[in-house]
Structure 1
Amino acid sequence: MAKETTSYKSQKVILSTIIYVFMIVFTLIAIVPVWLMLVNATRSTPEINAGISMLPSKYSIANWHILTGRGFKIAVGFRNSLTISACVTVLCVYFSSLVAYGIHVYRFKGRAILWNLIMMLIMLPASLSFIGFCQFISQLHLRDNFIPLIIPSIASAGTVLFMKQYMDSVLSFELIEASRIDGAGEFMIFNRIILPVLKPALATQAIFAFVGSWNNFMTPFVLLSKTDMYTLPMLVQMLRGDIYRTEYGAIYVGIAVSLIPIIIFYAFMSRYIISGLTMGSVKE
């Protein structure tokens, strides 16, 4: 019996060691490219051409002056991207949660048809409707406008699916019935009781919506033609032009700056995911 216990413990230690090794390897795979990008943002073009280095250099300020001294309107790009991404995140998360809540709680005629329609939309590639969407926006004379970049985020089938599945696992109908008995209206129940229960799922989808909107390049590239309305990914794409072709340090600075809001937003929202993992909707 003692030998079996010792053998079991040794197998457990070996398995734990293998898991930790894989975790460390995967962590390095994820971190090293980002670190190299940040390091290259501090190096000069000759140093970058000389080879890879893991240690920062002293040319970050010089690269910044090169980047901003040739017409790279980083403040404008930040403002436009932040405006679009913030609006998209709020609208996408709130209205998708509202739709998922309606499908989850209410039993109405056509509910199954609506749910099957949402599932069908998830399976359709977004590229199929892109040309038609752009033509529709042109007919509405909404080119060079942020509205077509923001309003369609209300209809996010993937977010509705995620929120519906999350509600199926954590949302208690007793909580809703108790709120109705206390005299709360349906919108009050959703806004003040249901949304706090959904914090982990809301934070998860907020991260996806914000990152997706922030990194979106094709739709703004087609719909926006005024330089003052360019988003940050569009400005970063301009770094590939002739004016920056040989200034690799400045290019890396521009790319690094475009990632800062994503990292900050993820760091801020991830704490809601972690804090809500063990949170229950009803206390016994």
Structure 2
Amino acid sequence: MLNRPAAIRAVVYHLFVWITAFLMLYPLLWLLSSSLKDNSEIFTHAHQLTPSFIKFENYVTGWQGFGGIKFSTYFLNSLIITVCATVGCVISSTLVAYGFGRIRFAGSRFLFVCMLITMMLPGQVLIIPQYIFFQKIGWVNTFLPLIVPSLFGLPFLIFMIMQFVRGLPNELDESAKIDGCGRYAIFYRIIVPLVTPAVISATIFKFYWVWDDFFGPLIYLNRPRLYPVSLALKFFADPQQKTDWGAMFAMSILSLVPVFAVFLAFQKYIVEGISTTGLKG
């Protein structure tokens, strides 16, 4: 049994954890509660997490969308952009990480330094040049500006995966070469299976970033039928008419479903990927 001081410390610790967890979850709980309230009750009884009566009609109304476009269209757009950008980015980042981590070639250190420098470059300085470039080649009002740049890798993900690759013993590559494997065979048969935690962590990070991206679609997409969920939610708020807050919050809750599903399915890989990044084998 615990002695009295230890028991008091345990109680205080768990109480602190519960209070902190509640404070962190409160915005989400408030959003869920507001999605089931009537518009007149959302802000007049904002402090109450339990609605006076549950209004599931908010989800039906929100799913109908606006301008004759159902919200399923926005979900489909988000899935197309997110899946294509995530898959392309993770594959290319893994290949580049393998090149930097295992292959010595002329200028490799210089290119690696250049890649690190791009991580320090503020994204704001690229907005106008990128928009002008994509506008010149006719990619505005398409998904291409949101997908194609991701196909060439992301410095942060390259660096993260590269730490895993460098942590693997070089003897694995030498053994594979003795068995007749080339560079690509070593990559697909040896490296990729061993860096799976890092690859899955990179996939989750990229999925979150693309799914939540608001600024990119706002710049490049002007047609409502092309909007992703992140941009469509904003247009529920109409300054010239009465905003249907209940429907907006209901669709906000639904937009979180893929995020929570991905997190719950792969959370162990997130922890493993972060905790072992940078460790040498």
Change (3 A) 1:15 1:132: farther
State whether structure 2 residue 36 is matched by structure 1 residue 42: yes
Specify the alignment match of 2:158 in structure 1: 160
Q: CA 1:70–1:84 in structure 2 vs 1: closer, same or farther (change >3 Å)?
A: closer
Are the counterparts in 1 of residues 236 and 243 from structure 2 also a CA contact under 8 Å?
Answer: no
Moved more, 44-53 or 106-115: 44-53
Q: 2:212, 2:34 → 1: CA distance?
A: 21
User: TM-score, length-normalised on structure 2?
Assistant: 0.86
Alignment of 1:131-142 (within 5 A): 131-142=128-139
Q: How many residues align?
A: 272
Identity of aligned residues (%): 29
Q: 1:244 to 1:173 in 2, by over 3 A?
A: farther
Contact 2:102/2:165 (<8 A) preserved: no
Greater displacement, 12-21 / 215-224: 12-21
Q: Distance in 2 between matches of 1:177 and 1:137?
A: 44
Matched-pair contact (CA < 8 Å) for 1:244–1:250: no
Q: How big is the shift at 1:82?
A: 0.5
Look up the match of 1:33: 27
RMSD: 2.7
For residues 13 and 196 of structure 2, what CA distance do their matches in structure 1 show? Answer: 30
SS of the aligned residue for 1:55 comes to coil
Structure 2 residue ranges without an equivalent (≥5):
277-281
Tell me, in whole angstroms, the C-alpha distance in 2 between the residues paired with 1:56 and 1:24: 23
C-alpha deviations, 1:51-107, integer Å up to 9, x for none?
A: 222235644421123322644521110111001101111111121111111111111
- Picking from 218, 232, 241, the partner of 1:221 is 218
Give SS of 2:48's match.
coil
Aligned ranges 1:168-247 → 2 under 5 Å: 168=166, 170-242=167-239, 245-247=242-244
2:237 and 2:245 in contact (8 A); partners too: no
User: Deviations for 1:233-282, whole angstroms, at most 9, x for unmatched residues?
Assistant: 11101011147744221121121121111111222222434577999xxx
8 A contact 1:203–1:270 mirrored in 2? no
Quick check: 1:97–1:160 contact (8 Å CA) kept in 2?
yes
Task: Look up the match of 2:279.
Answer: none
Contact 1:60 1:253 in 2 (8 A): no
